[in-house]
Amino acid sequence: MTDQYKNDRLAKLQALQQIGLDPYGQRTQQLEYTTVLHNRLSELGLQPGELRTDQHGRVAGRIILLRDMGKLAFLTLRDRHGDLQVGLSAKMLQTNWSVVKNLDLGDWIAVEGLLGKTKTGEDTLWGEQLTFLCKALQPPPEKWHGLTDVDLRYRRRYVDLFANPEVRQVFQQRSQIIQAVRDCLLARQFMEVETPVLQPIYGGAAARPFTTHHNTLDMQLYLRISPELYLKRLLVGGLERVFEFAKNFRNEGISPRHNPEFTMLELYQAYGDYHDMMDICEAMVTAAIERIGGGLVRPYGEMTIDYTPPWPRRKYADLLKEYAGVEIDDITAIRAKAAELSIEHHGLDDALVINLLFEHTVEPQLVQPTFVIDYPAPLCPLTRRHPDNPDIALRFELYVARMELGNAYTELNDPQVQEANFRQQLRGEGDETMAVMDEDFVMALEYGMPPAGGLGVGIDRLVMLLTNSTSIRDVILFPLQRPVE
């Protein structure tokens, strides 16, 4: 933006002040949304060119279109629900007309007036009173075609939201999705809770944490990578069904599917198992779809996803055999296949090699919602083992559109086995390693945690899928970005 643009707007701001107006407005009440006025006009059934002197409306919003025609001006106001044309004339506004000459694109105003239609049949609010609410010193994107530079859109999300209505709709749907999931769980007698974000010991997942220092206590703390171990403590305390929309932080890479700060739903149900978690998972996702509309068969990129339940339950070992052509217990064949596919595997634990091969060969095939069940036990230190085969963990991951959406366990509640698993991790064995022993969590289990099922669902990824957004940054209001040089 050139200095001249800003200087012009500053001059208009001063002109408003000189005629006694506050260019930054005041409290404004008894407003109606643009959609409400459109609905009223539809019910009135007005003809083109008709004006109803007995029908008043009052609306506020940002000016996104402005046509000055001398003694007449037409502008379009945008609020959070949509757009509405406003007609302004010197005859109807009288003393307010001087304000019109100092309006710019991007300014916020409120208008009260009469409902009607123009000669071309467009819904219009004919202004009788104009209230100035805020002067915009920065102009909106040129010609109001929206912000098109992707990096700039994320950095200036505040512009992206008002310039691109489809972006605003994504975040409105995000709110609806979260509320639908919350309502689904509350209806099942779950209790929403909050657990610490600052933790002295991080755990519950395999991830590198962000570290910080508390000055008063002179201690190192971590931003949580998962709320899991605290939520399980609540099961010990007798809160039998709990959930949390948790902000998690992982000091790792950024990609279309990963942001260092993200939102995870985690829930735990006493006396349940991973089969209960599958049922809840289907119920939550279908409830979210019902809330935002669009049907259970919906697009995602170039794919078409059918969310009609029930979703297939496929065993990890069966999928590995089908798509990699190897038996899960034939580690020689597995390593040979990994070498054939140029998967680096030397020096890695057998279970890690199996999972790398799975990720390479199976995950690209999982387009439709699929529960992958019964994982190799070494990958799952917090999970109960299969009663008939201790090499298998009672765990599932939910895949949709080739990406992981959810992760669930039949939870491990044996404190002795849990302590042994933690100590194995401290030796660097297994995938989900933690840096230190969480002795308090083991002690909590010693007080007795009921058998339970637990589930984690990536909310950002769920919103991506249901709004057909192919980048996680399109569903996070302010994604992390590299500083501008």
pLDDT digits (tens, 9 = 90+) for 19-64: 999 999 889 988 999 999 999 999 999 999 999 999 999 999 999 9
The Cα 46–Cα 36 span in angstroms is 16
Which SS3 state, helix, strand or coil, does residue 58 take?
Answer: strand
pLDDT band at 436 (very low <50, low <70, confident <90, very high): low
State pLDDT tens for residues 142-153. 644 445 678 888
Strand partners, 456: 266, 407
State pLDDT tens for residues 294-325. 999 999 999 999 999 999 999 999 999 999 99
Please give the angle made by the CA atoms of 127, 63 and 120, to the nearest 5 degrees: 60
Nearest to 320 by CA among 228, 245, 392: 392
Q: Other CB atoms closer than 10 Å to residue 139's CB: what's the count?
A: 16
pLDDT attached to residue 149: 76
Distance of CA 324 to the CA centre of its chain: 34
Decide: 452 and 269 in contact? Cβ < 8 Å: yes
Residue 295, token pair as written in the block = 């049907």
% of the chain with per-residue pLDDT over 90: 80
**Residue 386 main-chain phi, psi, to 5 deg:** -65, 135
Beta-strand ranges (E) seen in 318-388 are 370-376, 385-386
The Cα 354–Cα 470 span in angstroms is 28
Average confidence score pLDDT of the chain = 92
pLDDT band at 428 (very low <50, low <70, confident <90, very high): very low
* Residue 397 pLDDT greater than 80, yes or no: yes
Residues constituting the chain: 485
Beta-strand ranges (E) seen in 24-89 are 51-68, 72-79, 82-89
- Region of 177 (left: φ > 0; alpha: ψ -120 to 50; beta: rest) is alpha
pLDDT attached to residue 205: 83
pLDDT attached to residue 204: 85
* Residue 124 pLDDT greater than 70, yes or no: yes
Q: Which residue has the higher pLDDT, 377 or 268?
A: 268
Which SS3 state, helix, strand or coil, does residue 113 take?
Answer: strand
* Residue 65 pLDDT greater than 50, yes or no: yes
pLDDT attached to residue 78: 96
pLDDT band at 430 (very low <50, low <70, confident <90, very high): very low
Beta-strand ranges (E) seen in 228-300 are 241-249, 261-270, 297-300
% of the chain with per-residue pLDDT over 70: 96
The Cα 352–Cα 331 span in angstroms is 11
Classify burial at 255, counting beta carbons within 10 Å of its beta carbon; exposed 0-12, middle 13-18, buried 19 or more: exposed
pLDDT band at 420 (very low <50, low <70, confident <90, very high): confident
Report, as an integer, the average pLDDT of 52-81.
95
The Cα 440–Cα 415 span in angstroms is 11
* Residue 207 pLDDT greater than 80, yes or no: yes
Dihedral angle, C-alpha 139, 143, 148, 152, nearest 10 °? -10
pTM, whole model, 2 decimals?
A: 0.92
Q: Which residue has the tokens 């006694």?
A: 20
Report, as an integer, the average pLDDT of 289-298.
98
pLDDT attached to residue 435: 55
CA distances from 95 to 15, 59, 89, 101, 131 (A): 15, 20, 11, 12, 12
pLDDT attached to residue 483: 87
Own/partner contacts of 476-483, CB < 8 Å, gap of 24 or more, are 476/259, 476/261, 476/262, 477/157, 477/171, 478/154, 478/157, 479/154, 479/259, 480/254, 480/259, 480/260, 480/261, 481/151, 481/154, 481/155
In this structure, what DSSP letter does residue 383 have?
B
The Cα 380–Cα 151 span in angstroms is 38
Report, as an integer, the average pLDDT of 146-161.
82
pLDDT band at 355 (very low <50, low <70, confident <90, very high): very high
Report, as an integer, the average pLDDT of 217-230.
95
In this structure, what DSSP letter does residue 215 have?
T
pLDDT attached to residue 429: 40
* Residue 333 pLDDT greater than 60, yes or no: yes
Report, as an integer, the average pLDDT of 443-462.
97
Decide: 185 and 164 in contact? Cβ < 8 Å: no
